[in-house]
Structure 1
């Protein structure tokens, strides 16, 4: 098992290795496997990429994010300009149904609302916004229309893990309340955790995935 110091050094190395991140502006602290990222980044995209880089490191149990986005002068844009660009980006995405997503922008922070039929459509909307200039954050409040089957969710998680040669689906419990899916149990890494979450999100009708999985 890695010590907190080893995890810290690995996260710092992963941030240095990630070309989309300026690691010099990010501090890393670790306490009992919980990693805190602090400091300043120059875009929401860089913040996102830093979070994903930290999650790739073995031994990381959870992340606390204390980074803020400080746009350089060349990247600053007014909210009207950002909103117009977001609308255009959503219209150009073949995975986002036309006029299904609504946009609100306040001080560079983008909130997306509306309804779509599938999780991949909601994910596509976020992807269309994440890397736009001037965006300081994104709130995904898009809802999914369809209903969800707990049996189908469990089966999809198990099938997804087995396809990728992981055998820990039996340690994951799935409970469904309305359109909310809760995952509990134990997984050996962030990779397996992400696989389980992605499988749950891929089920038709899932509005929210509550991740209570423990990484050991």
Structure 2
């Protein structure tokens, strides 16, 4: 197990290695494996990249983000401008279903609300707006609600089982069925 000093050195090295932000703008404090990041960055994209860099470091137990986004002069945007850009970004992203996610902006902080069928759609929506100029933070409140009922899921698995004979194929069919979040494979194959 790393000491706090070793962990701080590793985090600082990872931050210095990543070109997506200026590591000199970030302060690092480590106590009992918990890393606290401080400082001011010039965009939410930089802040997000710094958070991801720290999470890559082995031994980090948790991250406390006390960094703020302070937009450089000339990069400020009105909330209306950000909302319009967010709406367009969502509209132009092929992974985001049309009209299902509503952006709201307050003092540069962008909140996404709505419902989608898949987790990847929720992630794609956040990714589409995270790096927009003027955004100081993102709250992704989009809910994932599959359209399938448990009976539909069961039928789809039974249909797949009737097409596929071996144990691995059966497990794969279960995982590939929309609406399945856990598969417990207790099947025994008689030879």
Deviation at 1:82, TM superposition (A): 0.6
Q: Which residue of 2 aligns with 1:169?
A: none
Rounded to whole Å, the distance in 2 between the matches of 1:95 and 1:204 is 18
> What residue ranges of structure 1 are gaps of 5+ in the alignment?
153-202, 207-216
Query: Is residue 144–residue 205 contact of structure 1 (8 Å, CA) maintained in 2?
Result: no
Q: Which residue of 2 aligns with 1:213?
A: none
Rounded to whole Å, the distance in 1 between the matches of 2:92 and 2:180 is 25
Q: Secondary structure at the match of 1:19?
A: coil
Q: Secondary structure at the match of 2:12?
A: helix
Higher strand share: 1
The one-character-per-residue Cα deviations of 1:45-66 (angstroms, maximum 9, x if unpaired) are: 1000000101111111110110
Query: Is residue 86–residue 129 contact of structure 1 (8 Å, CA) maintained in 2?
Result: yes
Q: Which residue of 1 aligns with 2:61?
A: 61
The one-character-per-residue Cα deviations of 1:16-40 (angstroms, maximum 9, x if unpaired) are: 1100011111100101100000111
Rounded to whole Å, the distance in 2 between the matches of 1:71 and 1:26 is 15
TM-score (norm 2): 0.77
Rounded to whole Å, the distance in 1 between the matches of 2:180 and 2:120 is 11
What count of residue pairs does the alignment treat as equivalent? 154
Query: Is residue 117–residue 205 contact of structure 1 (8 Å, CA) maintained in 2?
Result: no
Change (3 A) 1:2 1:71: same
Deviation at 1:148, TM superposition (A): 9.2
The one-character-per-residue Cα deviations of 1:137-178 (angstroms, maximum 9, x if unpaired) are: 0000101112798xx9xxxxxxxxxxxxxxxxxxxxxxxxxx
Rounded to whole Å, the distance in 1 between the matches of 2:142 and 2:16 is 34
The within-5 A match list for 1:91-130 is: 91-130=91-130
Deviation at 1:74, TM superposition (A): 2.2
Q: Which residue of 2 aligns with 1:7?
A: 7
Rounded to whole Å, the distance in 1 between the matches of 2:17 and 2:75 is 24
Following superposition, which runs of at least 4 residues in structure 1 exceed 6 angstroms of deviation? none
> What residue ranges of structure 2 are gaps of 5+ in the alignment?
154-177, 182-191
> What is the root-mean-square deviation in Å for CA atoms of aligned residues?
1.8
The one-character-per-residue Cα deviations of 1:50-108 (angstroms, maximum 9, x if unpaired) are: 00101111111110110000000121100111100000000000001000001110111
Query: Is residue 148–residue 205 contact of structure 1 (8 Å, CA) maintained in 2?
Result: no
Change (3 A) 1:133 1:30: same
Query: Is residue 118–residue 205 contact of structure 1 (8 Å, CA) maintained in 2?
Result: no
Query: Is residue 79–residue 108 contact of structure 1 (8 Å, CA) maintained in 2?
Result: yes
Q: Which residue of 2 aligns with 1:49?
A: 49
TM-score (norm 1): 0.68
**2:18 matches 1:18:** yes
